[in-house]
Structure 1
């Protein structure tokens, strides 16, 4: 019997330098903290949204043991030519690993229970079988596409910009639920954050006070076929109202800001955004609090010895 409430299994992975960032993204997307690499949730997330989610299984059947799962799958109808794969992740279970031959056997046995056309070379539909802790699941399988990797090939790059991988995670932290959200990147630089947001169909506008980066930002966005507005404007001149602002505080040698200027920027953001994601290379907690924000969550994004703080502020 199919469960009435749809469940999803997400498998994700990250480098040790990215653990803090990955965990904050997972908290933002799914609403709870985990140190495991597998999440079971009723929240539907396109796995290609995240640089860390690698695979998703839309659970159709769940059973306490493999034999019960085989019985449940029996008679299931596949609408398209299909293939069954066994997914095994090193962090999914403390039980003994399933050997190669055993995985192939499970795939064959499960496949024989399904009514439909098998196509092992070019299937139109993939089904996955996976052991998760103390139970087994069977369901539709989706593999993530590394869209952020494609975005590295933009025509204008700056050494101080966020990597596309970090930028994509930041966007997910800022906008876990996309529908109806208005977002602004008021210090958009070369448009790295905007590109990731636009690729997810997020309604975002950008601006920057530096005329040397606004034109390259527009070129970068257009290069990937996206349409996004980039204005030449100081953050302190932003008007209107937004659900979220993503502020990557300037930090390079050409953009040294004194604390009072940083405070003015943050106070301005308080006026036009309900929620602000602040990205900073230095600790500015007192300034954020003086601007009227409460830091609700945080993480660090590392690249070797270089560390950025990412703060979720309300």
Structure 2
């Protein structure tokens, strides 16, 4: 964390709002009911399936002319650059700026910068936006939809978490992954594993069904990811982890009874001090019985299909 402020813009479907907010709270310790969030915490926007872009604020002003005056002192000697306007959509209560006006403002502020502009292939991109009656200028990073690429993995289940939900769940589990050991002990076809590994999260996978292990490895190889996945029940895990992600088995591949689900939760409590549970059923009482406290939660919806995402410690 630093004194530098970062502004993040978001795009999400209404069904994803609660999940997006839970991911926000995991990253930033707070959420936003709008499509913009300001924080001193720096997060790669490509980690989130909901972030659209990030602005690292260099200057701010109460007026456009005031912002131009501040940017006139800005010099970029070592890189070619271009400037983009982030107001391509309504941001909080600030209406979208139309395309001709955005181009006009981009030219005005670009001419204030001392340096070498390059509109086609710049080495660095700066951005600006206005919302809540303030103007901001800074370093711009656009999110890359890596989760979208992962939809095309060789093996998948129709009942698996979709890649957007899986990526958000991985972020909720390990928002700051340095030094954090994570396990997915009911990994299925490895959707969460792929998302977590692609973000540099130290995660291992396990599943009671030995027939999924090779397909999971093939999914890793398809995206040039290196990960460890093994066959075996959660009861055989001896190592202790910082976080476990448990997507409770419920489909035709698992044949899981309520008793078996209870055993999974018992062992989740044994092998990790924090567990992210994804369930289609309300299991609050069981979670409390085994000694966990639900510290945060949300609903992840897809049409009429609803999953609960529970953060347990």
Query: Aligned with 1:250: secondary structure?
Result: coil
- In the aligned structure 2, how far is the partner of 1:127 from the partner of 1:254? 49
Query: Aligned with 1:156: secondary structure?
Result: coil
Which residue in the other structure is 1:255 paired with? 254
Root-mean-square deviation (Å)? 1.4
Which residue in the other structure is 2:51 paired with? 53
**CA offset digits 1:247-287 (Å, max 9, x no partner):** 01100134243332222111111111010000111111111
Query: Aligned with 2:285: secondary structure?
Result: helix
2:11 to 10, 13, 22: 13
Q: Which moved more, 1:91-100 or 1:165-174?
A: 91-100
Query: Aligned with 1:69: secondary structure?
Result: helix
Q: Which moved more, 1:49-58 or 1:19-28?
A: 19-28
Contact kept? 1:81, 1:118, Cα under 8 Å: yes
Contact kept? 2:36, 2:92, Cα under 8 Å: no
Which residue in the other structure is 2:180 paired with? 181
**CA offset digits 1:174-215 (Å, max 9, x no partner):** 111111000000001111101111101111111001011111
Q: 1:93 to 1:225 in 2, by over 3 A?
A: closer
Alignment gaps of 5+ in structure 1: none
Contact kept? 2:64, 2:135, Cα under 8 Å: yes
Query: Aligned with 1:117: secondary structure?
Result: strand
Q: Which moved more, 1:67-76 or 1:98-107?
A: 98-107
Query: Aligned with 1:129: secondary structure?
Result: strand
**CA offset digits 1:122-165 (Å, max 9, x no partner):** 22211111002121100011110010111111111111111111
Contact kept? 2:81, 2:118, Cα under 8 Å: yes
Contact kept? 1:262, 1:287, Cα under 8 Å: no
Size of the aligned set, in residue pairs, is: 311
Which residue in the other structure is 1:128 paired with? 127
Alignment gaps of 5+ in structure 2: none
Normalization by structure 2: what TM-score? 0.96
Normalization by structure 1: what TM-score? 0.95
Query: Aligned with 2:79: secondary structure?
Result: coil
Which residue in the other structure is 2:165 paired with? 166
Which residue in the other structure is 1:293 paired with? 292
Contact kept? 2:89, 2:95, Cα under 8 Å: no
Query: Aligned with 1:251: secondary structure?
Result: coil
Contact kept? 2:205, 2:228, Cα under 8 Å: yes
